[in-house]
Structure 1
Amino acid sequence: MTRTLDIVIIGLSLSSSWGNGHATTFRSLIRGLDAGGHRVLFLERDVPWYASQRDLPDPDFCQLAYYSSVTELSESFSTVIKSADAVIIGSYVPEGVAIIEAVAALSPKLLCFYDIDTPVTLAKLDRGDEEYLTLQQIPIFDAYFSFSGGEVLTRLEKDYGARRAIELYCSVDAQCYQNTGEACEWDLGYLGTYSPDRQPTLERLLIEPARALPHLRFVVAGPQYPDTIDWPANVERIDHLPPQDHPSFYSRQRFTLNVTRADMIAAGWSPSVRLFEAAACGTPIISDDWRGLGELFPEGEAICIARSTDDVVDVLTGMNERRRMDMSTTARARVMELHTGNARALYLVSALERLADDPAARGEEPQRFQDEDRGERNVAKSA
């Protein structure tokens, strides 16, 4: 780092993790920025849903402020938006299209988009759904930071007109996510909000194994699951777990399950924050399969890939304790090296500083910029 940056982030939610993963992603990233000496103002739309479920109303690692309308945002925060070294607008922000227009009109020094839902965003745009971002707005951003990497970055530039598409995966706060040393309560668990497109995989990789293994214990934590689901008697249900309870939840599982949304499977290279959190807690992971997963967690070494109910049953009944622990150790080491909030913040700052310090780079061919800045592995190792 050569200097302290002032960054404004306009995101879905920082104060409430209820029913969304954005808060967890932003918290880890911003804590990393704070640890690096950077100043962040997070602007959150004051909406009843999150206002009634705030589990972090007063963060100690950034300034958090609320706005009630696009007009209030552009008028009350115009000075700080204009003076900031970078303004980052997130995906799924209420009235996101109008927010982007209003912020762009203020001509910030750097205007970036952070898409924590890239595969979903692109699928929506392909359907003509411009809920929080329009196709015409993508080229106005100096950088399009993407939850997804790999081939998605090329698509963003070639097919959607992004000036710079740079992966910015989610991350884990290494200080918050560690094994708690509690006794194991469940043989397999899953943490995630109900999603219709994930439910068939959850049925195949957890509910059916639970039926086949009635002597083992299972758990599913997360809100919005319909009452019509037929849960086996050995599957415990927890409606909601605030982030501070996640380490304890993972630490009490023998294995944890990762289930990926259909749009993210189709895109590939879209790791859920749950992968990094579970690994940081030393819990071995069983996951569905998608392109790019093996680059993050080598199959058989750092993760178990399950393609059927039988695959899960085999792991739960056939893997010995030494191999289970070796797998968890390998996964945790990779996450601690490459996927912490500090590593991700370092990567983000590097990209922002390059854009700010070398304005000519903003007019270069996208691939040249990415060849120099893409690759969180190298940046993380230099931390």
Structure 2
Amino acid sequence: MKIAFYGSSLLSSYWNGAATYYRGLLSDLARRGYNITFYEPDAFDRQKHRDIELPAWAEVKVYPATEEAMRGVVAEAAKADVVVKASGVGVFDNELLEGIMAASRPEAIRIFWDVDAPATLAELRESPDHPLHRTMSALDLVLTYGGGPPVIEAYEGFGARRCIPIYNACDPTTHHPVPADDRFRADLSFLGNRLPDREARVEQFFLGPAGRLPKRSFLIGGNGWETKGMPENVRHIGHVYTRDHNAFNTSPLAVLNIARDSMASTGYSPATRVFEAAGAGACLITDAWIGLELFLKEGEEVLVARDGKDVADHVEALTPDRARAIGDAARARIMAEHTYTGRGAEVDVILREEAAQKRERSVA
């Protein structure tokens, strides 16, 4: 089957947290025989910060961020058997959604793939004229980056025919243990862009503990933190390319995951960083959120913090041997249950089921 996938960026993770997710899933689907074309706009300086070469497993079409160019790539949806509009493309999102649905063939499988379901659902509740309300009945599937039962129930309440979470995972070919790198040595490291619904939680779970532990070293990576006031024992290194993520995860004593407000309140939403860190064998400390036990076991495969004091207590109590044991256990769990090979198998079954159902409906 031919897949036309319209997303933010496959080639760059710059201000684009979905890159790892897209790469892991689509490369596995390509190995299963799918012919994939990924359409991404030349926007937000992402093409200046590419962190992979053009992949052999997908054709990538980068188009200018203009309305005329957008209409050109929308027309190509007519060639595909599976048409995917991802959330958060960032340029002409509404026009892409309605245009792709109109251009795709009736027999094609039409999918809205939501990589930030809590935010999208909030928009749907607040905006009765949101184009997704108008196109929901034309969609065969809504697939989501996470969210579990709350997101499924919400989407079905808005009229989705089927809503299925396809969770993040680990690609062991790209995320794995590597030797420590002095650039990333610290007692606790955090990687994430500065976003409005994350900043307060970073202050609570990362900067607060740094202030409590002035003799410990803290490292923060990601865009937007240049102007943020921080304790003297916090070092900021800016954007970290995906090629350095393994070293970023293996070099510190522990790595911190902090969910955005909306993800934490929804639950069942592990970030890509969770699986990247676990895949590298890092000792992960995470803020608490509903559904964590589906992915990692508290106290054995991950350390859980309910507030900043918990984070500081974990860092003070952690020894290198204990950190290594937790990281090894997390890696074993992730490799057994949460790889993109497994996620790709899920999507493959879903697409084949949907194709069969569409054929049956057309005959009836």
What TM-score do the two structures reach when normalised by structure 2? 0.90
Deviation larger for 83-92 or 354-363: 354-363
The corresponding residue for 1:203 is 203
Q: Structure 1 pair 98/255, CA: closer, same or farther in 2 (3 Å)? A: same
Query: CA deviation digits over 1:317-336, x for unaligned, max 9?
Result: 21344432232122112221
Q: Structure 1 pair 137/255, CA: closer, same or farther in 2 (3 Å)? A: same
Q: Cα distance, 1:74 vs. partner?
A: 4.7
Q: Cα distance, 1:66 vs. partner?
A: 2.3
The corresponding residue for 1:178 is 176
Matched, 1:55 2:54: no
The corresponding residue for 1:100 is 97
The corresponding residue for 1:32 is 28
What TM-score do the two structures reach when normalised by structure 1? 0.86
The corresponding residue for 1:11 is 7
Structure 1: stretches of 5+ with no match in the other structure: 364-383
Q: What letter corresponds to residue 151 of structure 1 in structure 2?
A: P
Alignment of structure 1 residues 188-337 onto 2, 5 Å: 188-225=188-225, 227=227, 229-337=228-336
Structure 2: stretches of 5+ with no match in the other structure: none
Matched, 1:160 2:158: yes
Tell me the matched-pair count: 356
Q: What letter corresponds to residue 52 of structure 2 in structure 1?
A: L
Q: Is the 8 A contact 1:186 1:254 kept in 2?
A: yes
Query: CA deviation digits over 1:70-123, x for unaligned, max 9?
Result: 554554564x53342211110012222221222222233111011001011111
Query: CA deviation digits over 1:147-197, x for unaligned, max 9?
Result: 123223432343211110011112322111111122672110000000232
Task: Provide the C-alpha distance between the structure 1 equivalents of 2:82 and 2:314, rounded to a whole number of angstroms.
Answer: 47
Q: Is the 8 A contact 2:181 2:248 kept in 1?
A: no
Q: Is the 8 A contact 1:35 1:342 kept in 2?
A: no
Query: CA deviation digits over 1:226-245, x for unaligned, max 9?
Result: 51x32122111111111111
Q: Is the 8 A contact 1:265 1:290 kept in 2?
A: yes
Task: Provide the C-alpha distance between the structure 2 equivalents of 1:130 and 1:221, rounded to a whole number of angstroms.
Answer: 38
The corresponding residue for 1:128 is 127
Q: What letter corresponds to residue 119 of structure 1 in structure 2?
A: P
Q: What letter corresponds to residue 195 of structure 1 in structure 2?
A: L
The corresponding residue for 1:118 is 117
Q: Cα distance, 1:26 vs. partner?
A: 1.0
Q: Structure 1 pair 129/302, CA: closer, same or farther in 2 (3 Å)? A: farther
Alignment of structure 1 residues 142-161 onto 2, 5 Å: 142-161=140-159
* Secondary structure class of the residue paired with 1:253: coil
Q: Is the 8 A contact 1:355 1:361 kept in 2?
A: no
Q: Cα distance, 1:28 vs. partner?
A: 1.6
Q: Structure 1 pair 250/130, CA: closer, same or farther in 2 (3 Å)? A: farther
Q: What letter corresponds to residue 206 of structure 2 in structure 1?
A: L
